[in-house]
Amino acid sequence: MTKFIAFALGTVASLVVSASVVNAETFKIGLSNGWVGSEWRTQMIDEAKEAAAKWKDKGVDVEVSVQSANVDVPGQIAHIRNFIAEGVNAIIVNPNSPTAFDPIFAQAKEAGILVIATDAEVSSPDAIYVGIDQTAWGAAGAKWLAETLDGKGKVVAINGVAGHPANEMRVAGYKSVFKDFPDIQIVNEVNANWDQAQGQQSMQNILATYPDINGVVVQDGMAAGAWKSITDAGKKDQIAATGEIRKDFIDLWIKEKLNSGATVNPPGVMASALNVAVLMLQGKELKEPAKAGQYGNALYLPIPFIDSKNVEEAAKQLEGKPGYYSYTSSLTIEDAEALFK
């Protein structure tokens, strides 16, 4: 035991020494991603790494250290522990659970580490959230659909994973919009677990059960599947449905002249969070402290929207990229600086 304590003291001492030696403008940032089921996550990490490299021009050395693997909640808590042991300055995490990280984030903060969550909000008062408001994301698609349908018609919803916080917020978002359109009737809501194939399957069932629907609210990659069923059934001119942001779909959208509108959940959110993190590590203060959202710790980023008016522009951004590449946007260093005093 004493050996352990001596060892721990030794490492703490060496940490203190090394911390005082490094230049003030060198930051080490840990990125933790707990799910690698989609290209979106890969792009998210790649964009964050690019954002870190861009700080070189400003004379700031941002070293990123990435942990990305399919893990359960304890596995991701272990990610955070590893970062604490490594002695990073900040941790940016795309969390597997909204609430489970409260104790470990508290420990990170005690160790003087800045913690930022992105893509999914966390309840911890020791972290801030930099990302989009999923409720507003759900509302934006519904608003487009309601307006496209002139405020009346039969609508179905294809949702993600029941019980997943982002899904619940998006559902709350579209419900709050449709409430204001009494002539829009939600005839059914199904869960297709954010899976493209399940989205396609659900849409087939829906079309068989309700041949007279006018609109579909469907999230992310499931939209490509749903649109496949709609096109196969020869109904693409009668149905308006929300879309998604991958190049393959956007190309199809233009080619088939789909009546679609896509709320963008940009993979650049982690890059935005990284830029905010670096500025905070430099000791700058936010003009408006991050106090939004249900947990009172969120800094919401703008949510781009693609509809038939600007879909060509979106396609231009994606030109030459692989088919799975998502339309993206993120705060540049200058954009982020504008948020600070």
Interacting residue ranges for other proteins, rule: CB under 8 A: 1, 4-5, 7-8, 11, 15, 31, 33, 36, 42, 45, 66-75, 77-79, 81-82, 84-87, 97-104, 107, 123, 161-165, 168
E-strand spans in the chain?
26-33, 61-68, 90-94, 114-117, 128-131, 153-159, 184-191, 215-218, 240-242, 260-263, 298-300, 305-307
Q: How far is the CB of 101 from other proteins (least distance, A)?
A: 7
Question: What does the chain come to in residues?
Answer: 341
Give whichever of 75 and 302 is closer to other proteins, judged by the CB atom.
75
Q: How far is the CB of 8 from other proteins (least distance, A)?
A: 4
d(CA 40, CA 224): 15
d(CA 125, CA 106): 8
Q: Cα torsion at 156, 174, 298, 51 (round to 10°)?
A: 50
CB 116 within 8 A of CB 127: yes
Give whichever of 143 and 164 is closer to other proteins, judged by the CB atom.
164
Q: How far is the CB of 50 from other proteins (least distance, A)?
A: 14
Give whichever of 102 and 147 is closer to other proteins, judged by the CB atom.
102
Question: Side by side, which strands form the sheet with 298-300?
Answer: 61-68, 26-33, 90-94, 114-117, 128-131, 298-300
Give whichever of 68 and 308 is closer to other proteins, judged by the CB atom.
68
Give whichever of 66 and 187 is closer to other proteins, judged by the CB atom.
66
Q: How far is the CB of 75 from other proteins (least distance, A)?
A: 6
Q: How far is the CB of 106 from other proteins (least distance, A)?
A: 9
